[in-house]
Amino acid sequence: MNQSFHTKIHISIPIEKAFHAIRKKIYEWWTEDLEQIDERTFRVKFSNGSFWTIKEVNFQPPEQITWKVTESHHIFSSDKTDEWNNTAIKWLLIENSNSTTIQLSHIGLAEELDCYHICSKGWQFFLNSLKQYLETGIGKPHQIRSKTKPSLNHGV
């Protein structure tokens, strides 16, 4: 069985713009409910009570970003809420002649996990939201009632 989830998109934008959106504009494409914990750690939250605490453990502008999930509480139909704990989310950006390829790998999001089906569909949705944000300036993040958008202050 596959021990990780992989997907990618191609987009006609500069690699630096994609890198910046992944690191600093999470509220525009993933979830508006975002909490900065420290310079490299943030928490993404959803209205059903689900959250993931993520630490940026590596970044090499403008090609690579690696996040480690240090805490998770994913509420869905299963009682296993911590399946993302100690998984890694790796972003690889490849500059092509007229486009950028964004590869997402969620290491540890294995097919046998209870959340694999819903999480893999969620990653596809939010990666498409990232693409839409980069192309149009408007993504489809999970929305909260307050429209005050947070700012991420980590590196670069």
Residue 151: per-residue pLDDT:
59
Question: Which tens digits make up the pLDDT trace of 123-139?
Answer: 999 999 999 999 999 99
**Residue 97: closest CA among 17, 12, 37:** 12
Mean pLDDT (whole number) for 116-122? 95
Domain-located, residue 58: yes
At 10, the amino acid letter reads H
Domain-located, residue 42: yes
Separation of alpha carbons 73 and 155, rounded Å? 26
Query: Domain limits at 67?
Result: 4-136
Mean pLDDT (whole number) for 90-111? 96
Structure tokens at 127: 């990666």
Separation of alpha carbons 142 and 123, rounded Å? 12
Residue 156: per-residue pLDDT:
45
**Residue 142: closest CA among 44, 63, 2, 43:** 44
Separation of alpha carbons 85 and 63, rounded Å? 25
Q: How confident is the model at residue 2 (pLDDT cuts 50, 70, 90)?
A: confident
Residue 67: per-residue pLDDT:
98
Domain-located, residue 99: yes
Domain-located, residue 61: yes
Check pLDDT > 70 for residue 114.
Answer: yes
Check pLDDT > 80 for residue 78.
Answer: no
Domain-located, residue 123: yes
Question: Which tens digits make up the pLDDT trace of 27-71?
Answer: 999 999 999 999 999 999 998 899 999 999 999 999 999 999 999
pTM for this prediction: 0.90
Domain-located, residue 46: yes
For the chain, the domain total comes to 1
**Burial class, 89, CB count within 10 angstroms (exposed 0-12 / middle 13-18 / buried 19+):** buried
Question: Which tens digits make up the pLDDT trace of 9-33?
Answer: 999 999 999 999 999 999 999 999 9
We report the CATH number of the domain holding residue 24 as 3.30.530.20
Those residues with Cβ within 8 angstroms of residue 49's Cβ, 6 or more apart along the chain or in another chain:
73, 75
- In the chain, where do the E strands start and end? 4-11, 34-38, 41-45, 51-60, 64-73, 88-95, 100-107
